[in-house]
Amino acid sequence: MASSVIEREYDQSHTVVARPTDGNGTVEWLSRWQHSPQVQYIVPNKEISISAAANDPFLEKQSYLSQTRTIEAWSQIDRNESIVIAVVDTGVDLDHPDLKGNLVPGVNLVQPNLPPRDDNGHGTNVAGVIAAIGNNNKGIAGMLWKAGIMPIKALEPSGRGDEDKLGAGIRYAVEHGAKIVVLSVGLLRNDSYLQEIVQYAEDQNVLLIAATGNDEGRIIRYPAAYPTVLAVGGIREDNTVEERANYGPELDLVAPWSVFTTAVGGKYEYRDGTSMAAPQVAAAAAMVWAKYPDMKAHEVRNLLRQTADDIAQPGWDEYTGYGLLRVDRALNELYKTDMYEPNDRRADAKPYSIGRMISAELTGGADVDWFQIDVPYDGTLSLQLRSDWAAPSAVKLTHAGGPGVFAYPFTPGTTLELKVAKGANQIALQFEDGMEPTAWKYQLSSSFSIYRDPFEDNDRQYKAYKLPPRSQTVVGTFDHEGDEDWYAMTFEQSGVVTVKVTPDTKRIDPVLTVQKKGERAITVDDNDDGDMELYSFEVFPGTYYYQVGKTIPSPAIGEYALEIRYEPRFIDPNEPNDRSYQATVISPDTIYEGVFDRSADVDYYKFTMTERNLVQLSLRDIPGNVDISVALQNSGLGPIAKQTNAAGAERIEMSVPLDPGTYYIRLGTNEAVPDRMYKLLIHTDVLIGDYVDIAGHWAQDEIADLAGMNIVEGYGTYRFYPDRTITRSEAVTLIVKAFGYTKKKDVAFPDVPPSHWAFENVTKAIQAGIVQGYPDGRFNPDGSLTRVEMAVLFAKAIGVGGKLRGDIPFADIDSDYWALPILKQMNAEGWITGYDDDTFRPDSPTTRAEFATMLRRVIRR
Is 13 a catalytic site residue?
A: no
**Would you say 166 and 109 are in contact if contact means Cβ atoms under 8 Å apart?**
no
Strand order in the sheet with 350-351: 350-351, 369-375, 423-431, 395-401, 404-409
One-letter amino acid at 253 equals L
CB atoms within 10 A of CB 355: 22
Q: Which of 31, 56, 78, 89 is catalytic?
A: 89
Integer angstrom CA distances of residue 374 from 69, 217, 417, 573: 32, 18, 16, 57
What letter does residue 121 receive in the DSSP assignment?
Answer: S
Residue 366: phi, psi to the nearest 5?
-85, -10
Residue 184 CA to residue 94 CA, distance in Å, equals 19
Q: Which of 546, 680, 682, 672 lies closest to 614, judged by CA?
A: 682
Q: Residue 497: beta bridge partners?
A: 537, 566
**Would you say 683 and 589 are in contact if contact means Cβ atoms under 8 Å apart?**
yes
Residue 236 CA to residue 234 CA, distance in Å, equals 7
Q: Which of 589, 855, 849 lies closest to 693, judged by CA?
A: 849
CB atoms within 10 A of CB 639: 10
What letter does residue 469 receive in the DSSP assignment?
Answer: S
Is 298 a catalytic site residue?
A: no
Buried b (16+ CB within 10 A) or exposed e, 118-132: bbbbbbbbbbbbbbb
What contacts 519, CB < 8 A, 6 or more positions away? none
Residue 300 CA to residue 283 CA, distance in Å, equals 12
Strand order in the sheet with 559-568: 472-477, 559-568, 495-503, 533-539
Is 275 a catalytic site residue?
A: yes
Integer angstrom CA distances of residue 556 from 125, 282, 465, 616: 33, 29, 21, 59
Residue 127 CA to residue 120 CA, distance in Å, equals 13
Q: Chain-centre distance of CA 553, in angstroms? A: 28
One-letter amino acid at 767 equals Q
675 prior amide bond cis, ω within 30:
no
CB atoms within 10 A of CB 397: 19
Q: What is the DSSP string of 540-598?
A: -SEEEEEEEEESS-S--SSEEEEEEEEEE----TT-S-SSGGGPEE--TT--EEEEE-S
Query: Helical H runs in 350-469?
Result: none
Q: Which of 648, 651, 712 lies closest to 856, judged by CA?
A: 712
Number of H helices, E strands in the chain: 15, 38
Q: Which of 156, 174, 185 lies closest to 276, judged by CA?
A: 185
Residue 820 CA to residue 813 CA, distance in Å, equals 7
Residue 651 CA to residue 628 CA, distance in Å, equals 9
Q: Which of 275, 359, 449, 729 is catalytic?
A: 275
**Would you say 512 and 535 are in contact if contact means Cβ atoms under 8 Å apart?**
yes
Q: Which of 31, 56, 118, 122 is catalytic?
A: 122
CB atoms within 10 A of CB 636: 7
Rounded (5°) CA angle 694-700-703: 95
What letter does residue 436 receive in the DSSP assignment?
Answer: P
Residue 121: phi, psi to the nearest 5?
115, -20
Residues noted as catalytic: 89, 122, 275
